Amino acid sequence: MSWFKQLWHNSREKGLYYEQQAEQYLKQYGLTAIGRNYLCQYGELDLIMREGQTLVFVEVKFRKNKLRGGANYALSKQKQQRLRRTIAHYLAEKKLSNQAMRIDYVAITGELNSEINWFKNVY
C-alpha cells in the first residue's frame, strides 16, 4: 500500500472514530441514530438522526488543536452548499416530503480530553 493510500485510510478511520464519538454524545441528549455516512454524487452526510419528529442531519468536524479556531470554525461555505445538495438528494431518494428537519454541527477539538461543541440548526 502506498503511503498516500495509507494516509487516507488512517484519516478515514480517524473520521469514523470522531463521528462515532459525536453520535454517542448526541444519543445522551435523546437523539436516535438513523444512519451514518450517506454518500451520493453531491457529497456525504456524516450522521442522520432523529429528535422527536425532526430529522437531524449532523456534520462532524475534528481538529486536533485550537489553531485558527479549532473545529468550531472548520465548516466552510463550500461544505455548507454541498451539505444542502446532499440533503436534498437524500430526501428525494427516501421520498420524504414535508419532513421537519434541521442541520446540526458537532465540532470536536483535541485528541485527548476532546472538547465537543454542538451547534443546533446551523442553517
Dump pLDDT digits (tens) for 58-116: 999 998 888 777 788 888 888 889 999 999 999 999 999 899 999 999 999 987 788 99
Using CB atoms within 10 A of its CB, is residue 108 exposed (0-12), middle (13-18) or buried (19+)?
Answer: buried
109: nearest Cα among 79, 76, 65, 78: 65
| Distance, CA of 89 to CA of 84 (rounded, Å) | 9
pLDDT value, residue 8: 43
pLDDT value, residue 9: 55
108 forms bridges with which residues in the sheet?
A: 62, 116
The fold of the 3-119 domain, in CATH, is Trna Endonuclease; Chain: A, domain 1 (3.40.1350)
Q: Apex CA 42: angle with CA 38 and CA 43, to 5°?
A: 45
Phi (first) and psi of residue 64, to 5 degrees: -75, -20
112 or 41: which carries more pLDDT confidence? 41
Please say whether the beta carbons of 37 and 23 come within 8 A: no
pLDDT value, residue 118: 96
Count CB atoms within 10 A of the CB of residue 6: 10
Asked whether the predicted pLDDT for residue 123 surpasses 80, the reply is no
| Mean pLDDT across 9-19 | 80
pTM above 0.85, yes or no: yes
Asked whether the predicted pLDDT for residue 17 surpasses 60, the reply is yes
